[in-house]
Amino acid sequence: MLVVLALAGVIWGAGLAMRLPKAARIAMIAILLAGVILSQLVLPEGHPIRAATGGSPEEWLIVTGFAAIALAYGRGLAWLRRRARSDPEPTETAPGSFSNTELNRYARHIVLRELGGPGQKKLKQARVLVIGAGGLGSPALQYLAAAGVGTIGVIDDDVVDNANLQRQVIHRDTDIGTPKVFSAQAAMEAQNPYVTIRPYHRRLTGDIAADLFAEFDIILDGTDNFDTRYLANRTAVAQGKPLVSGALSQWEGQLSVFDPANGAPCYQCIFPEAPAAHLAPSCAEAGVLGPLPGVVGAMMAVETVKLVTGAGDPMRGAMLIYDALYGETRRISLKPRPDCPICGQAKA
């Protein structure tokens, strides 16, 4: 057998030296193997040629089988590579257009009468900012990315903590210690590589709010403190942008769209002053049901999709209150307050 393998090596080397095509060299070695197998089958046992080439056809049949499998695998792999090069999936598309993968991904949206192709195109062109990547921000961000919102901003100065993982489902155990905006960015990009994520690892403050909000069309407030809520409301009202607001406490959540530019009240119309600390304890102090942020955060994403596409009736001038403990929902009407210091004069 060693004699035959050495001869095959000589043939391959000579072919290389003569610059013969790879296919011709393989054919020459195939002829050599065929001759060896034929000699093993035709010549009697003990014949010198048969003895010099292994003495048994079984070994050569096994070698030939493995060689054929390897050759077929290489040919198949080369064919797949040629096909991939000849018909690549576009990595960039013209603004507002969709690749075949995107069309398939958003097919369940496109067949909805209220959305269709035009609605999905609006989502692709939309720019949405989410304040907070915690309990409410997590599901909102996930569903906005999955829905194909073209540009999603997320601002949060916090890092992932073990205590967050009971409800902040966009983060993983391996993300503990990572800034929430970067953990959320990784999860959204893994979910949908066709969206652009802009993470801002810092607290929303008055000196950056106006410039930041100017880059987006719709603002989602998923924060857990009143200072940031009032700041977001002031800035959104000043720029005439809708503010999708959610809040949580223990077993209860609430949701509204504050949009004075379209006749709805602003946040400060409904909550003129922040309540005393003991009347509105934080989640850490009062506790919160793990799935509850998912319910309210997902509804915030729904309202955002409606605002972007014009589908249905967004929750302007109304507040939805969800009681998870008893499975009840209530919808109450909200009216602008004429003496509101944020939007009252503008409406007058």
Give the mean model confidence (pLDDT) for residues 324-331.
Answer: 95
pLDDT tens, 47-82? 676 666 666 666 666 767 777 777 777 677 666 666
Are β-strands 151-155 and 127-131 bridged in parallel, bridged antiparallel, or unpaired?
parallel
Q: What is the pLDDT of residue 98?
A: 87
Cα dist. 249→1, 70, 190, 223 in Å? 80, 63, 31, 12
CA 260, CA 247: separation in Å to the nearest integer?
20
Lowest mean pLDDT among 11-25, 142-156, 176-190: 11-25
Q: Which long-range contacts (CB under 8 A, 24 or more apart) does 114-119 make?
A: 114/309, 114/311, 114/312, 115/305, 115/309, 115/311, 118/309, 119/308, 119/309, 119/310, 119/311
Determine contact, residues 240/151, Cβ cutoff 8 Å: no
pLDDT tens, 273-321? 887 766 666 677 778 999 999 999 999 999 999 999 999 999 999 999 9
> pTM for this one?
0.71
Q: What percent of the chain has pLDDT over 70?
A: 75
347 falls in which pLDDT band (50, 70, 90)? very low
pLDDT tens, 151-207? 999 999 999 999 999 999 999 999 999 999 999 999 999 999 999 999 999 999 999
CA 295, CA 336: separation in Å to the nearest integer?
27
CATH superfamily membership of 100-347: NAD(P)-binding Rossmann-like Domain (3.40.50.720)
3-state helix, strand, coil in the chain (%, to 5): 50, 15, 35
Which tokens hold the place of 53?
Answer: 């080439």
Q: To which residue do tokens 């930041």 refer?
A: 212
Quote the strand ranges of the chain, DSSP E: 127-131, 151-155, 196-200, 218-221, 243-249, 252-258, 318-323, 328-333
Q: Say which residue, 297 or 39, is predicted with more confidence.
A: 297
Enumerate the domain spans of the chain.
Answer: 2-86, 100-347
Q: What is the pLDDT of residue 178?
A: 95
